[in-house]
Structure 1
Amino acid sequence: MSRIGQHQSRFLQYDPQNHIFRVHRDAYASPEVFAEEKQKILYKSWIVLGHETEIAKPGDFVTRRVIDRELIFNRDSAGNVNVFFNSCMHRGPAVCKHKEGKASVFVCPYHGWVYKNDGYLASTGSTKADAGYPAAYLQRGEGAVRLQRIKNAAQRAGFYFVNFDENAGPLDDYLQGAGARLDRMALQTTAGFEMIAGVHEYDISANYKLLCENSYDGYHLMQTHATYLDYVKEILKGSNLDPKLGGTVMTLGNGHGAFEIPVLSGRPVAQWLPHWGEEARLLLEAKRNEVIGRLGEELGANVCDMNSNMVIFPNSVINDQQTILARTIIPLSHNRMRVRAWTIAPKDEHPKLREIRMENILSFLGPGGFATPDDVSMLEWAQTGYETTNVAWNDFSKGMTPDETPQNSTAVYDDEMQMRAYWLQWDKMMSGD
């Protein structure tokens, strides 16, 4: 049957007329399902690799794991962006062991093959002028040796994505409405962005899809993050700011989704909180006037005031809250993931606002902040529930209506429509439709 109407599969029970949307827990707890979804979903989807600010200058590089593939993401000496497999074309070892840096060449530690930062082989490391190999190995024409490139690498609003499927369609077609959300983040400044030094990495003993669900789940805020909300109420005492929750959840096509909520957590662009002081108020007032003057009242106020969490199907998360934070999720197994989180900021940001941004990252979004430990605990407890009980199904029916179109709609911020859109896309790809 159509996936907009009643549908049942190995993993899904979907019946809008009877308010039923359930996902089988094997989707989280089965090693066999995880192996299957790697082939059918993860290797066939566009996944966030990094941001152009990480490789801002010629020679800059980072090494990165995407799913289970080790990559070099770099800008070569000519200024071109490349994505290579981090593996020597001779006998396979990684040619770069550093997480980030600047390099004109990459050298294999095994036999000394040297690659220029555009990927072409410069030397085979031989002691007698590269004796024993064809001359073509070291030239640019037919027969040249070059680090293997990722065929499908593309960017939107400075975010670079990769897709390991040789037949992948264009990135913009895949992103659908998520592309416009990335564009919206870029409107915060006309000066461009820069990478804030430092990356948070931490493991969670849970299936990667649980973090995707949690990242735009407005329903858990009042319960799971009650301590943080109490803190917000405390710091707003004596002001005329209203800490009430509200907002919208939206689906963006192809399983992507986001929420927008006006949580009064402060934004360096451009939402002031009283405890930041008068200097910050004046700076943020000027920033707000600039943004609204440039974008107009409606869009400008949205950029300044609204926190947004977006999940780009299947495993990329972009938080536009107290900062712009990218979370790339590395699925390590059916019940373990590694999270890599990094942030960008406007190049022209005042030092006082940068200080506030850094404090926001550490106090809420960081591994030791208000939010992350709460979330990690809940995800790990959920995974334990899947693996130690015989309960078969998870329920995602909150806010469901008989006539909803889950792939391109909006709903109240604490409904679960965005998760239904995610799971419909996941089930579609797992079923080979």
Structure 2
Amino acid sequence: MSGASPRTSPVPSRLVDEDLERRRFRVHRSSMTNQQVFKTERERIFGHSWLYVGHESEVRNPGDYVRRPVGGRPVFMARGAKSGKIGVFHNSCTHRGAAVCRKDSGNAQTFQCFYHAWTFDTEGNLVGVPDRGAYGGGLDMSELGLARPPRVDSYRGFVFLSYDPEIMDLPAYLAGAKEYIDLVVDGASGAVEILKGTHEYGMEANWKLLVENSIDGYHALAVHATYFQYLAALGTSLEGGITGVGRSLGNGHAVVEGDAPWGRPIANWEPSFGEDARGEIERIRAGLVDRHGEEQAYRMANTSRNLLIYPNLIINDIMAVTVRTFMPVAPGRTEITAWQLAPENEMPLLRERRLDNFLTFLGPGGFATPDDLEALESCQTGFDSGGVEWNDVSRGMARSPKDTDEEQMRAFWRRWAEQMHGDRDEHEEAL
């Protein structure tokens, strides 16, 4: 007996099936396994969205830079030594293509291509060419600066790029997600920074499974039971459990928001922080109330939120603030990077607690991440077995959505389907 594998089997004309009358929402499993779907995503999703590059605090001083792949392409971000402005550049020499930025981060006055020693300043200008006279008068250095992505912009210190010159402006693209970025930044008194050090790891599963998992409240108590037992052992009150809501924020963005039963070093003191931190936390809380009012201060300090900025940026504002991106390198392989965001000039004791939370729950070896990855890789293995064609994402369609429902996931899938299938006539052979 023989048959096509899930990776090569025919792909239906529509990968997302929504039937409002039957209150049914399904996603075809070939969206997680098919090589052509993966290739089309790279062009239609990552080539036509705003993608997170980094945070302005990572390049605080003139000449500071960070390099990383964004949307599967090598770029770097630098603060110009002369202008003080942040620029984002393709990491490719305009001579013959080799990388010009060869370290992940640092401070430099120039970037020199190791292949033929063409040299560029931190503004992206070509400033040095060995034996320039060999070109006679035919080398116009002003035309040979580093290439920039067509669109670069920032919101509250978060820098984004897009490879689509016609994309809508960033504020319009962020839509309702702006409110939640504001909660994160204003909750840290308006001044935040990315701390040094990253988590870099991978999973043998499709990237969209991590999107779902990051805004899924349904799995938390079952998958992360050990962590909640750990919190209870520390004296953290879990009375009332976790309650919240899932929301679509427009343009594929989504959030789950709810009460936070765990200790958060923002402005919500609990005994596990120790008496030494009580006065500082109460002072921070009073400042939030003065600036934003009691209701908004409560949201910042006493609620948590997992925010998806479509397609692949997650801001987890829970027991710590984690900024996480991920990129598919194959239908069943995803590379993940995460950073810790924190208030500037934070009290050392609170910073220590924040970093401990970053590692203890959200780190690659913490309570949550290994459990999540095991679950997602198990799903991917299940897809490869075949037999079942569709995933069900219908939970909550018959009621106002809770954080344990799937409206926030449906928001992602609707935008994904729109981008993947929006130009069927023009790209009829793509899928």
Q: TM-score, normalised by structure 2?
A: 0.92
Q: Which amino acid aligns with 1:161?
A: F
Counterparts of residues 284-299 of structure 1 (less than 5 Å): 284-299=281-296
Structure 1 residue 251: deviation in Å? 0.8
CA distance in 2, matches of 1:395, 1:52: 40
Residue 71 of structure 2 is aligned with which of 44, 47, 67? Answer: 67
| Structure 2 counterpart SS, 1:385 | helix
User: Counterpart in 1 of 2:140?
Assistant: 137
User: Counterpart in 2 of 1:273?
Assistant: 270
Residue 334 of structure 1 is aligned with which of 331, 336, 339? Answer: 331
Structure 1 residue 9: deviation in Å? 5.2
User: Counterpart in 2 of 1:160?
Assistant: 159
Identical-pair percentage: 40
**1:33-54 deviations in whole A, cap 9, x for unaligned?**
1111212211101111111111
Structure 1 residue 157: deviation in Å? 1.1
Counterparts of residues 366-377 of structure 1 (less than 5 Å): 366-377=363-374
CA distance in 1, matches of 2:293, 2:16: 44
CA distance in 1, matches of 2:321, 2:64: 22
CA distance in 1, matches of 2:223, 2:278: 31
Q: TM-score, normalised by structure 1?
A: 0.91
Structure 1 residue 191: deviation in Å? 5.7
User: Counterpart in 2 of 1:217?
Assistant: 216
Counterparts in 2 of 1:255 and 1:130: CA distance versus 1, 3 Å: same
Structure 1 residue 319: deviation in Å? 1.0
| Structure 2 counterpart SS, 1:378 | helix
- Residue 203, structure 1, aligned to residue 202, structure 2: yes
| Structure 2 counterpart SS, 1:202 | strand
User: Counterpart in 1 of 2:14?
Assistant: 10
| Structure 1 counterpart SS, 2:21 | helix
- Residue 20, structure 1, aligned to residue 24, structure 2: yes
User: Counterpart in 2 of 1:228?
Assistant: 227
**1:73-118 deviations in whole A, cap 9, x for unaligned?**
1111120111110000000100111000001100001111001111
- Residue 30, structure 1, aligned to residue 20, structure 2: no
Structure 1 residue 390: deviation in Å? 2.1
CA distance in 1, matches of 2:240, 2:52: 33
Q: Which amino acid aligns with 1:413?
A: D
Matched-pair contact (CA < 8 Å) for 1:123–1:130: no
Matched-pair contact (CA < 8 Å) for 1:49–1:328: no
Structure 1 residue 234: deviation in Å? 2.5
Q: Could you say what the CA RMSD is over the residues aligned between the two structures, in angstroms?
A: 1.7
Question: Which range moved further: 226-235 or 383-392?
Answer: 226-235
Q: Which amino acid aligns with 2:86?
A: V
Counterparts in 2 of 1:130 and 1:236: CA distance versus 1, 3 Å: farther
- Residue 310, structure 1, aligned to residue 307, structure 2: yes
Q: Which amino acid aligns with 1:419?
A: M
Matched-pair contact (CA < 8 Å) for 1:114–1:125: no
- Residue 414, structure 1, aligned to residue 417, structure 2: no
In the alignment, structure 2 segments of 5+ residues that lack a partner are 1-11, 424-431
CA distance in 2, matches of 1:232, 1:243: 14
**1:394-416 deviations in whole A, cap 9, x for unaligned?**
00111113xx8xxxxx6211110
CA distance in 2, matches of 1:340, 1:43: 20
Structure 1 residue 263: deviation in Å? 2.7
CA distance in 2, matches of 1:303, 1:117: 37
CA distance in 2, matches of 1:331, 1:233: 37
Q: Which amino acid aligns with 2:18?
A: Y
User: Counterpart in 1 of 2:60?
Assistant: 56
Structure 1 residue 243: deviation in Å? 5.2
Matched-pair contact (CA < 8 Å) for 1:191–1:348: no
| Structure 2 counterpart SS, 1:284 | helix
- Residue 97, structure 1, aligned to residue 102, structure 2: yes
Count of aligned residue pairs for this structure pair: 411
- Residue 120, structure 1, aligned to residue 129, structure 2: no
Structure 1 residue 432: deviation in Å? 1.2
Which structure 1 residue ranges, 4+ long, deviate > 4 Å from structure 2? none
Structure 1 residue 282: deviation in Å? 2.3
User: Counterpart in 2 of 1:361?
Assistant: 358
**1:148-181 deviations in whole A, cap 9, x for unaligned?**
0112111111111111112111111111101221
Q: Which amino acid aligns with 1:228?
A: Y
Counterparts of residues 73-92 of structure 1 (less than 5 Å): 73-77=77-81, 78-92=83-97
CA distance in 1, matches of 2:205, 2:136: 48
**1:242-269 deviations in whole A, cap 9, x for unaligned?**
2511011111001110011223221111
Matched-pair contact (CA < 8 Å) for 2:245–2:403: yes
CA distance in 1, matches of 2:231, 2:222: 15
User: Counterpart in 1 of 2:6?
Assistant: none
Structure 1 residue 189: deviation in Å? 3.3
- Residue 257, structure 1, aligned to residue 254, structure 2: yes
User: Counterpart in 2 of 1:247?
Assistant: 244
Structure 1 residue 348: deviation in Å? 2.2
